[in-house]
Amino acid sequence: MSKNTQVKSPGTKSEAELEREAYAKKRNLTRNIWLVISGLATVSMVGFAFSGMGSLATGPKMNLGSGGSAESSVIGTVNGVPLRQDDFKRIVDNVSQGQSVPVQEVPMMRSFVLDQMISGALLESQASKYNVTVSDSDIQAERTKAIAQAGLAKTLSLSPTATQAEIDNALTSNGSPSTEVMFPSDSIKSHLLQQKVKAAIDAQTVVTEDQARASFTEYHTAHILIGNKTRSDAQAQLTAQKITTLALAPGADFAALAKKYSEDPGTKNRGGDDDWIGQGTQYVPEFKTAAFALKAGEITKTPVASPQFGYFIIKCIATRNTSLPKDFDKNKAMYIAQVQQKMAQDKFTAYITALKNDPSIKINITDPRLAADRALSAVPSAANPGAANADYATALSNYLTALKDTSLSIVDKGAIDAAVASIYEAQKDTKNELTYLVKASDETKDPGLTMQLGQMELKNNDTEGAITAFKSASAVAWNDASLHYRLMSIYKTMNRPDLVQAESQWIETYNQQQKAAQANQPGGAMGGPGGLPPGVSVMPSSGGQPGSQPIIINSDGGGKPNVHLVPSSGAPASPPAKSAQ
């Protein structure tokens, strides 16, 4: 279960649950990074993405789109409404521009964008329900705002009051697409529809002062979970209702019932005890809504439905109100607004989740690679090992189908091979894991993958193969000192002082070059002993002041520089790539 959606259960957890949480934390870290990059505060923002300037990154182009099919192809449908690859690719290019991301994270990145597109399509479908419309003038006003926010007039050395026509003329003469291509009407319309529908949904949440005060109350709860993953939803509801009847019976021992019947491994052995929870606790909204309506000693009279997990029977053991801010009365309006915003977001999240789980809504992803990405990204939130294995099987089958696409670029093929290797690793199929890891490492030249390959060769007692892989990783990690420190440590354990010395020398030279670059001295090139990739130069930003962020510049072949900040990962300055763009 994902960190942001699961009902957390403090205390001892099963090995499988701990493994899933570790995996989820790793994915959530990258997810949060992409949220910041893209500015997608809510799903209503994804319908509109700046699309015209192309990639500003250097290195081999990885296609985070869907293989080699035509950009206008359909990658899936939501209730028959098509999701198009050009929209998918436009959003991905927008959020990943100029960033370098590990190859292993490509499936999560692609799945995240797809999920946002699905959420956006579902939200857009509710427009008629909320009497929401978007006019041509609305679209043009939004385009005008986007042009200003993008700073196109300044970029093109035009007057700040330049008209759209003047900007278009300058773009055309510069060989760039027009503003209507950069900011397509259909994308703007989708964005505005989603934005307006969300606003209409949010407006339904009104918080009173009493509710704001109550939001600072903490609840000591316990629960019993009956899952809906290994049985039908109807069966889960029926079972939960029978247990609710037992729990509500006079003299019933809720803790004993939880130990006997609950299917939440995190709390089952503690009698379902959740400890103290409040509004800030990251539980699914339906759990919190039901729990916070209870008084001490009360139990939910009917099972609480959760599309993601099943059915909860919740008991409130005690309440306390120790967290009310001392300045609540003085800043009452501010606290009411904060609580209202939080409650509105919780309700909105629940609304979208309910739409996704509505059996009448059919979501069909037809692109095999995206279907695989989606299944692989679902593994951390799988209800049990059986469900996780099913997700792995779905992902593997679709990835193998995607690999049959002869139009795939070598780096896209490498990203898929890396994903396949990760599945075989999870399935403890060492032979196939090694086969696909070798392919992925060779295809992507990603230092992280190559290090992984070396570690695997070392584990298999193939010292020569491990050293070959480690040397390859060292050669391509031109700006990742941490990787070279890791290699020093590995070589020490292998008793290879010659290789330790080589890495030590690399680090010493790298540090000297870093200091020189920061001081803006001649010869202060980035990238360690190997220097920068061919055709790439470096200049400090912020006027070359010490400590400023370096900038990588390379030619796009037409004499115009492409500029972006040096990536913090070990890969050469290459497009988003999770390694793959």
pLDDT of residue 233: 84
529: pLDDT confidence band, cut at 50, 70 and 90?
A: low
pLDDT of residue 99: 67
462: pLDDT confidence band, cut at 50, 70 and 90?
A: very high
DSSP state of 380: G
Q: Residue 341 and residue 335: Cα distance in Å, rounded?
A: 10
Q: Is the pLDDT of residue 438 over 60?
A: yes
Q: Residue 408 and residue 63: Cα distance in Å, rounded?
A: 9
pLDDT of residue 97: 66
What string of DSSP letters covers 84-107?
A: EHHHHHHHHHHHHTT----GGGHH
Q: Is the pLDDT of residue 275 over 80?
A: yes
- Judged on CB neighbours under 10 Å (0-12, 13-18, 19+), 297 is exposed
Residue 360 carries which side chain, given as an amino acid letter?
S
524 close to 518: Cβ distance less than 8 angstroms: yes
Q: At what angle do helices 368-377 and 106-124 cross, to 10 degrees?
A: 100
557: pLDDT confidence band, cut at 50, 70 and 90?
A: very low
Pairwise pLDDT comparison (279 vs 234), residue with the higher score? 234
pLDDT of residue 455: 93
477-514 residue pLDDT tens: 888 889 999 999 999 999 999 999 999 999 999 888 88
Tokens of 536: 């790439």
63 close to 355: Cβ distance less than 8 angstroms: no
Contacts of 243 by beta carbon, 8 Å cutoff, 6+ apart: 224, 226, 257, 261, 313
177-223 residue pLDDT tens: 999 988 889 889 988 999 999 999 999 999 999 889 888 899 999 99
Strand partners, 273: 222
Q: What angle do CA 138, 142, 147 make, to 5 degrees?
A: 150
- Give the distance between the most distant pair of CA atoms in the chain: 83
Residue in the structure block whose two tokens are 């354990």: 493
Strand partners, 226: 311
Q: Is the pLDDT of residue 404 over 70?
A: yes
| 304-318, 370-384, 395-409, 523-537: the lowest-pLDDT one | 523-537
Residue 412, Cα to own-chain centre: how many angstroms? 19
Residue 371, Cα to own-chain centre: how many angstroms? 16
423 close to 376: Cβ distance less than 8 angstroms: yes
Q: How far is CA 155 from CA 149, 322, 329, in A?
A: 11, 54, 49
315 close to 272: Cβ distance less than 8 angstroms: yes
Contacts of 262 by beta carbon, 8 Å cutoff, 6+ apart: 223, 224, 225, 226, 268, 272
pLDDT of residue 211: 87
* Dihedral, CA of residue 226, residue 230, residue 231 and residue 234, to nearest 10: 50
Tokens of 528: 């360690």
Q: Is the pLDDT of residue 533 over 90?
A: no
Q: Residue 499 and residue 348: Cα distance in Å, rounded?
A: 56
Tokens of 147: 């042009």
Mean pLDDT of the chain: 79
pLDDT of residue 380: 84
334-360 residue pLDDT tens: 999 999 998 898 889 888 988 988 889
273 close to 318: Cβ distance less than 8 angstroms: no
pLDDT of residue 215: 85
pLDDT (average), residues 237-265: 96
pLDDT of residue 423: 96
Nearest to 579 by CA among 448, 475, 453: 448
Q: Is the pLDDT of residue 246 over 60?
A: yes
Domains of the chain and CATH, by start: 18-55+63-202 (1.10.4030.10), 209-357 (3.10.50.40)
Q: Is the pLDDT of residue 469 over 90?
A: yes
pLDDT (average), residues 304-312: 90
